Amino acid sequence: MLRCGCEFNLDFKCATLPPTVRCKPYSNSNEETFVLCFEFEDDYHDEYNCDICGKERLRNHWFYYSPYGGDLAAHLACILGKYSNIKFGRTYTFDMHEHALTFVDKSEEPHPPCDKCGDSCHAEIHHEHPLTLMRRSVSFTCDACGKEAKGISGVDGGSIDPLPYVVEKSKLGEDNIEIAVEIKHISHEHDLKLIDEQLENDEKCDGCRSNGFVYHCDKCNFDLDVQCSLRSDIMNHKGHDPHQLILSSTSNDEKCSSCDNDGIIFCCASSDDCKFTLDLRCVTLLAIIRYRSYEQLFTLCYKSEDDSDDEYYCDICEQPRNPKHWFYYCADLDFPAHPKCILGEYPNIKFGKTYKFDTHEHPLAFVDKSKGAHPRCNKCGDFCYGLSFECVKCNFSLHADSWCLRR
């Protein structure tokens, strides 16, 4: 479970919903692109129905919406299916049967009788590792799907998507939820400790560059935020189908194939001598996004469009684009752009939160001064560009770095 101090709750199934989905809304229709929506659309008749099943949609629940021609709104389950997070097709061996058994979904097909109990098979989950029931004392309602659920649980012996780290130390937090406070992560050689205290400098996650709670390494100043720590070490990405990507456990100076940045890297697992790599910032790029006041959507593209003049420019900054790098493109406007020009310099940074430092009597707000006015830092005297702290009460500004904060 993910919980905010404002009492917003989110279960892990909704937290990992794909932002866009391609599917056929009806059996006899063509595929359409559906975008995950977090707020209900205006409906002057106060009728919020699913355009696939015809049943009511609750206004405060997330839903999928097709902005391309169909103008369809649908329940999450109607787009993704009942078992969207379950992988079918794998085979497992059990002592009860001499042959390997294939994990299948029998919710829609004819239901054969179970050879053990005789009841009809609808959908049953098995797993290759022994499962241990974990007692979960926290009940909550997910604000995205409205389902009743329990707090964080786990399994002993592994899971279908095991976490890429080993828990070294843990503690019980609020509501008796177990929190991993020290982990051994596959991406780093040293143990990482959870840091949930106030921001003290401009350090960010070495993976996605966010400034949320991080697991920190004191030995080499490495940071990994909680969200990145939970990401599976084996993944598939549309930008490199059909090869799988594996999280690198080395510290080599590898560059991301889609942006040339370094950091935490996924490497191609193919044996075909493929050198493709992908960093966590590009892994988390949204497939479809809006830009400012444009009504048209921009789609993440993995290969450059044909250009007879061999000139590739960004229509926002008007600077050249590397034709080998990913970019956002609006086909209706013929508008290509760098991801950073669409998303901004700090897409994963949360601004506006206030912090208390010994250097100033009032709380300081964490702000972005990369655009607009650039006040002078009250400690070093230089202009504040980019990440900064400011006090709105007395026009006080500081660079968001350890030297100015501790001076």
| 152 found inside a domain | no
Q: Which residues pair with 244 in a beta bridge?
A: 236
Let me know whether 223 and 244 are in one domain: no
339 within domain boundaries: no
* Tally of structural domains, the chain: 4
Would 311 be classed as within a structural domain?
no
3-class DSSP state of 283 = helix
Does one domain contain both 203 and 238?
A: no
Predicted TM-score (pTM) of this structure: 0.56
Q: Chain-centre distance of CA 162, in angstroms? A: 17
Q: Is residue 308 part of a domain?
A: no
Question: How many CB atoms are located within 10 Å of the residue 172 CB?
Answer: 9
Tens-binned pLDDT, residue by residue, of the chain (407 aa): 566 656 677 766 777 677 778 877 777 777 788 888 877 655 444 668 888 888 888 878 888 888 765 678 888 888 887 555 455 565 655 555 667 677 666 655 565 666 555 555 544 333 333 333 232 334 555 665 655 554 433 322 223 345 788 888 888 876 667 788 999 998 888 999 998 654 455 557 888 888 778 899 989 888 998 888 888 888 889 899 888 888 886 555 678 999 998 888 898 887 677 889 999 889 888 888 889 888 889 999 998 766 556 789 999 999 999 999 999 999 999 999 999 999 888 887 778 878 888 888 999 888 888 877 889 999 999 999 888 999 988 889 998 876 787 66
E strand spans, 173-297: 178-185, 192-195, 214-217, 222-225, 234-236, 244-247, 265-268, 277-279, 288-289
Half-sphere exposure of 79 (CA within 13 A, CB side): 26
For residue 213, give the nearest of 243, 191, 192 by alpha carbon: 192
Co-location of 204 and 259 in the same domain? no
Task: Write out 3-34 in H/E/C secondary structure.
Answer: ECCCCCEECHHHHCCCCEEEECCCCCCCCEEE
Cβ–Cβ < 8 Å for 2, 10: yes
What residue type is assigned to position 404 of the chain? Answer: C
Residues 404 and 377: beta-carbon distance below 8 Å? yes
State which residues form the domain around 177: 165-229
